[in-house]
Amino acid sequence: MRILLWHVHGSWTTAFVQGPHQYLLPVLPGRGPDGRGRARTWEWPDTAAEVTLEEAATTPVDVVLLQRPEELALCERWLGGRRPGVDLPAVYVEHNAPQGLVNEMRHPLADRPELNLVHVTHFNDLFWEAGSTPTTVIEHGVLDPGHRYTGELERCAVAINEPVRRGRVTGTDLLARFARAAPLDLFGIGAGMLGGVEDPPQQELHREMARRRVYLHPIRWTSLGLSLIEAMHLGMPVVALATTEVADAVPPDAGLVSTDVERLCGELRRLMKTPSWARQLGANARRAALARYSLRRFLRDWDDLLAEVTGLRALEEVTA
């Protein structure tokens, strides 16, 4: 089927476009937020094709995948007035945890029964209030980068995008405390502002992460970071705050998950001194990640939902 989606979340889209469909990605001159087109730091298959504003107006589309509230209006503009959820099937993917007081965590697309709201974690589904909008959970899946862990450097890898702007949300204020327990290397968009490595290509990021002894996840309040799942696939042991989905995603034999920062610092010190223990935890982390966050399971879950929303697979089966 033909799926129109905006390039919003690079790592998630990298996994999504590995499926058997045709993926239409709006592109604009300058490649701003509403028209990034194909990724430049990830490898995407040829089935992920760019489409201009002029082309999209007359392009057949089977389903629209939305990821931001403003894409409801964008979709009409790009598709010649066709309305998502009315003139063609639409699915909305919520990547983020809700912000604000718990009683006020109402989703922007609440009470829209013509749409389908997909959460990437059970935590998000629990905390967002969707009203009459039908919801489901399709957990993350990632391309397996392979068991590349060496842990040769007695340092921690930390991956945070925009650590200065997001501040306490991403635990940026905790980095100094963790750095007293073990040296940190920060990667991500905006990491250069704190002396880190600025948004390296994915292959380079994986190579450099895997050389570090441990993956540190200091995130207070975001959805489950794909960098954490990728680190586990690499075979890295995990030291992480027990917040949002992390406590459910990281098993006890894959590292330490706690809200006690001093306890986490103690585990960092231990892992720096015991590389054999770090390797064992990392092997357990990889095994858990492959079992729960495989690309095959992720794509199968999405195929099932898209078939339900569009009816296309059911029609093909009847025809066959």
- Predicted TM-score (pTM) of the model is 0.93
Total count of domains within the chain? 2
SS3 206: helix
Domain, as residue range, for 10: 2-140+295-319
Same domain, 37 and 96: yes
Query: How far are the Cα atoms of 91, 117, 121, 222, 227 from residue 109, in angstroms, in the given order?
Result: 11, 8, 17, 19, 27
Q: So what's the pLDDT on residue 313?
A: 64
- Contact in structure between 1 and 63 (CB atoms under 8 Å): yes
Same domain, 73 and 127: yes
Same domain, 279 and 312: no
Same domain, 170 and 267: yes
Same domain, 41 and 81: yes
Same domain, 26 and 39: yes
Q: Average pLDDT for residues 135-139, to the nearest whole number?
A: 98
Same domain, 111 and 166: no
CATH of the domain at 275: 3.40.50.2000
Q: Minimal CA–CA distance to 88: which of 294, 268, 310, 257?
A: 310
Q: So what's the pLDDT on residue 24?
A: 98
Q: How far apart are the first and last CA of the chain?
A: 17
Q: Average pLDDT for residues 106-110, to the nearest whole number?
A: 96
Q: Average pLDDT for residues 300-316, to the nearest whole number?
A: 84
Max distance between CA atoms of the chain, in angstroms, equals 64
pLDDT at 42 over 80: no
Same domain, 166 and 58: no
- Contact in structure between 250 and 240 (CB atoms under 8 Å): yes
In this structure, is residue 271 part of a structural domain? yes
| Per-residue pLDDT tens over the stretch 9-35 | 988 999 999 999 999 999 999 999 999
| Per-residue pLDDT tens over the stretch 180-217 | 999 999 999 999 999 999 988 889 999 999 999 999 99
In this structure, is residue 145 part of a structural domain? no
Query: How far are the Cα atoms of 44, 90, 105, 121, 289 from residue 224, in angstroms, in the given order?
Result: 23, 24, 18, 7, 13
pLDDT at 314 over 50: no
In this structure, is residue 147 part of a structural domain? no
In this structure, is residue 105 part of a structural domain? yes
